[in-house]
Amino acid sequence: MALRIEDKVQFVKGVGPVRAELFRRLDVETVRDLLYLFPRDYEEPTDVCPIIQLQDGQKQTVVAQCLEVRIAQWRHVEAAFADDSGSVKVVWFNAPYLRNQLHPGRTYRLTGRTRLYRRHLQMQHPSFREIGEGDEDAGDASIQATYPATEGLQSRSIARAVQAALDQCLGELPELFTPATLKRLAMPSVRAAVRELHRPTSMKAVGRARRRMAFEEFFLMELAVALRRRGLKRFQDAPRLAVTPAIDAHIRRRFPFALTAAQNRAITDIVADIGASTPMARLVQGDVGSGKTVVALYGILAAVANECQAAIMTPTEILTEQHLRSIERFLADSRVRWLLLSGSLSAAERKKALARIRDGDVDIVVGTQALIQQDVTFKRLGFVVVDEQHKFGVLQRAESRWRNAESDQPLRPHYLVMTATPIPRTLALTVFGDLDISVIDELPPGRRPVRTAWVRPSGRPAMYEHIRQDIRRGRQAYVVCPLVEESDKQDMKAATEEARRLQKDVFAEFRVALLHGRMDADEKQRIMADFRSGHTHVLVSTIVIEVGIDVENATAMVIEHAERFGLAQLHQLRGRIGRGPHESTCYLVAQPTTEFAERRIGVMTETNDGFRIAEEDLKLRGPGEFFGTRQHGLPELRVGNLVEDYDLLQLARQEASDLVRQDADLARPEHRFIRDALLATYGRKMELIDVG
């Protein structure tokens, strides 16, 4: 029987049931999946040279035996290779999956660029393939494809299966785009592109084929986002929240300072949105300390002025408490009513709170995910703020249903998302592509940029003396550690032990406290209250203080083992200081052992610009790790690169938008294959209510 494209991969010649299970680890279940399992790299024809002849900055090829291989910090794979002339260290950054593809004692052909790192040559991220005894292609001059192998399934085995599938099923691949579209975009057909990627004739042709397949991935992603956006905009039953000049003036009187131009631009966007019956779906992103909370509170008060309720949902109780303090600060003498709804309430307290929300006896409700539980109903909800949206994810955003106390009909409030994690351009077009975006790109007057210093472990005594001087001047400090308790497996300072050491040996004349995520809510609140009041001078903490802590008197932060943190996380932590008028310093205590780690620390000392840091973080860690994009329902891209392919992503976004305007239901015959591919890839993940 002829092999079909939707058949299970086990029916491909040479695969069978056992190898099919191994292919499943690579997300390959069908023949189609196999054809779309593209090489992760290509080895161009180069002459093999002995290791002793490797030169800094040159791309070269060696054939050498693997001596050892290990997982290093930050998920790097480090290996040592040797031939008769010498040995060389080889590093693959952020690629732990390669650990199972390298075996000491076996011989490999490696092609890559060699760099001088700490006075030693190091081959970085080379392509490689195993060379068996007597192999004739150790010096093969043709372009060799390297596949993303897994344990028990080597690149060569994958290549043989792919070639068998190409021979039988390539002609069955459906073409999503019309010939006119392909000609206009100057792209090859899908069959030509797939053939070229698996059977390369030249690297230039491979580049054209990769661009074609990356465009297809981006196009389907952006089409899914465009349809979700259209679905959100189709409703016309949100409450119209009018902001008259009198309401605007009344709200602004609540803030004892002038708003920045950036805050006013965001407010203008919000006012325009909430004045319509289409539910607002807007993201406000701004750097730490840029004043997003004030912008959100403006929208909340606009809802209250229109006799509607408002809700603020946060991922943590600490952040919830922070919002409550902001409300108390600005609305203490007003008639606005608010309450906290969180998982820490007793049954009696929760019952009373639910009744007040249901009966409309409260204007603002602040809480965690407890706000969207089945028993929470609102009298007239008009405005919702979700802070740090990326910690919830797209799927949960779609499931956030706000319930009406008087009917079974869902409420459709205006929806404002806030994030202090600046979002790179590519992720703004994908993860948050169904939201309108406002950017707050300036700090309020009087805020000083935080000075950042890289401190080697030997520099601790001088650093501690600077902090002691700050505390004697009436200031306070944070010390952040990666772990709660000491670990035998990881040589990192633990918060519990560090708090004891600092109190005894370093800051004996001051009060040191400990805060970490394992404490119950009441204990956390007590410790933070002591710190805010100035009773505690030094707060030793884990990353629980990453968001939601706002103590203007804190002017110093020590981050231990800073090389173990991601850039976005370091930037968030640093944002906890410098929130008052005093000069502040963030000390990054680090002893990085890789170029990758040194680069992160270097970026932090060079800039306070969160948007630049976000772009660098995406480059270094990749989209799969950047604040957990896997949570957002977006699949891992096989070909497209969200770091390098911004222009191609923009093109795909434009093409997808044009298609939605022309045929939003994808009902035309020429769009049948697009519809099928879209539903197969995103139908369930993105809740495409307009298709299927």
The pLDDT score that the predictor gives to residue 568 is 79
Q: Phi, psi (5° rounding) for residue 374?
A: -55, -35
And the tokens for 663? Answer: 């045929």
Q: Phi, psi (5° rounding) for residue 382?
A: -120, -20
Angle at 32 between CA 27 and CA 36, to 5 degrees: 65
Q: Where residue 195 falls among pLDDT bands split at 50, 70, 90? A: very high
Say whether pLDDT at 396 is over 80.
no
The tokens 């680069």 sit on which residue? 599
- Mean per-residue pLDDT, 339-351: 86
The pLDDT score that the predictor gives to residue 117 is 82
Angstrom distance (rounded) from CA 305 to CA 299: 10
Whether the CB-CB separation of 514 and 495 falls below 8 Å is answered with yes
Angle at 594 between CA 589 and CA 597, to 5 degrees: 50
Angstrom distance (rounded) from CA 365 to CA 313: 8
- Mean per-residue pLDDT, 446-467: 91
Angstrom distance (rounded) from CA 582 to CA 605: 19
Angstrom distance (rounded) from CA 37 to CA 34: 5
The side-by-side arrangement of strands in the sheet containing 436-440 is 338-341, 364-367, 309-313, 381-387, 414-419, 281-286, 436-440
Please tell me what DSSP assigns to residue 288.
T
* Alpha carbon of residue 420 to chain centroid: 12
The pLDDT score that the predictor gives to residue 136 is 45
Angstrom distance (rounded) from CA 497 to CA 475: 23
- Mean per-residue pLDDT, 577-596: 87
Say whether pLDDT at 354 is over 70.
yes
Say whether pLDDT at 309 is over 90.
yes
Express each pLDDT in 481-510 by its tens digit.
887 665 544 555 688 889 999 999 999 999
Amino acid identity of 577? Answer: I
Please tell me what DSSP assigns to residue 107.
E
The tokens 């169904």 sit on which residue? 434
Express each pLDDT in 234-283 by its tens digit.
777 889 999 999 999 999 999 998 999 999 999 999 999 999 999 998 98
| Domains of the chain in sequence order | 47-140 (2.40.50.140), 245-275+291-419 (3.40.50.300), 451-607 (3.40.50.300)
And the tokens for 149? Answer: 């192998």
pTM here is 0.69
The pLDDT score that the predictor gives to residue 669 is 93
Angstrom distance (rounded) from CA 323 to CA 521: 16
Residues of the chain above pLDDT 70, percent: 89
Question: Which residue would you say has higher pLDDT here, 623 or 310?
Answer: 310
The pLDDT score that the predictor gives to residue 621 is 66
Angstrom distance (rounded) from CA 126 to CA 161: 24
Q: Where residue 395 falls among pLDDT bands split at 50, 70, 90? A: very low
Residues of the chain above pLDDT 90, percent: 48
Q: Where residue 401 falls among pLDDT bands split at 50, 70, 90? A: low
And the tokens for 270? Answer: 């919000």
Q: Where residue 412 falls among pLDDT bands split at 50, 70, 90? A: confident
Say whether pLDDT at 288 is over 80.
no
Q: Which of 128-142, 522-536, 566-580 has the highest mean pLDDT?
A: 522-536
